[in-house]
Amino acid sequence: MKRRKVGLAGIVAASVMILSLPAAGVSATSLISAKTSKATTYSYVYNQHGKQVPVQGVPHVGPDYPLYFTVDNGTKTEMTCWTDTEYSTGNYRSNRWFYVKFYTPRFGVLIGRGYVHSSYVYYQTKVPHC
């Protein structure tokens, strides 16, 4: 990697630009937060009792509500919303379910959507009620 020498003129120009931000009504923090605010925070699913996490088409379990599909532990998810229904036990007992989107680990391609028991969702983010 080639190192590039920065002359005094370059340093002065950069300093003048940074110092002129407040005069233009822009703070350096607002520039940083504008860049980072669009980042999506992902959650992950994990079943402590097996290698896969069950995904439901509706936020219920039982014979009247067949399993929609399963995803592997560690699958990246994006939480969309939450809802409360009857209590169920996954990694722990809860009545909360999340509607999530699932993505491939390497390329982040959307592979499905469905309801997951809250106990399987790690690094939960704040989402609205469904």
Q: What is the pLDDT of residues 86-114, one digit of tens each?
A: 899 999 999 999 999 998 877 788 989 99
**Rounded alpha-carbon distances, angstroms, from residue 97 to 11, 22, 51:** 54, 46, 20
pLDDT in tens, 71-84: 999 999 999 999 99
Domain boundaries defined on the chain: 1-39, 43-122
Look up the pTM and report it: 0.67
